[in-house]
Structure 1
C-alpha cells in the first residue's frame, strides 16, 4: 500500500461473512490500514457476503449480487491506494494501535492492529 496515496483517504468497511459466521472491520486512515476488532459504529460500507464473493469488489467487478449498504466506491478507493510490491521495503511490524497513537482523528473505533502502512516507496 502506498501510504502517500492513502494519506488523504479515510474510510471504514465492515464485512460480514455468512459462510464463516465472522465479521471484520477495516479502516483506512492516516496512510495506514487498520484492522480493529469488529464493533458497532458507523461505517462507510457494510457488506454481507460469502468469502468467495469478496473477490468481486476487490477485482473491480462491483457489488453486484452482494448485499450492501453505504458508499459503493469504497472498494475502488481502497484498491486505488495499492501500489506495486517493493521487495526491498521493510515490512511494518504489527503493533497495538490506540487512539493516543493516532496523529489525527480516525473512525477506526478503538484499539486495533496496523495491517499495512507505507507499504510502497512509490507515490
Structure 2
C-alpha cells in the first residue's frame, strides 16, 4: 500500500497559512483548509481507497477547531507509527504585521470575534505556546 505525504500547515491567524496552502496546491498537493484533526485518519484512509493517484496532501489545521491543541499530538503520532510522513509547517508573524494585515482585510480575529484584534492575537499565542 502506498503512503501519503501529509503536510499540516498551522500557526497564527494572519500569518500566511492560506498563501502557503495555495503554493503547495500549485506544485501538485491535494489541499484542504480547516479539516478537523480528528478526521485526518479517516480522510487518509478514504483517499487511499478511492483516489490512489493522490500522493501528497496539505491541509490547514489551527485553533479555529476548538480542541485542536488537545487532539493533534495524539492523532499525528498514531499516523507516524503507521508509517505516514507527517510534516508540520508552523507559520508566525510579528504582532505588528498581523495587526496590519487585519486592518487591511477588516476581518475579525477568530479568537476574538467581538473583542480587539490585539487580544485575539495574544490569546492565540498563549494557546499555541501551551
From the CA coordinates, give the structure whose radius of gyration is larger.
2
Give the helix-richer structure, 1 or 2: 2
Give the strand-richer structure, 1 or 2: 1
Report the TM-score range of the alignment, normalised by the length of the smaller protein. Answer: under 0.3
Instruction: With the length of structure 1 as denominator, give the TM-score of the two structures.
Output: 0.27
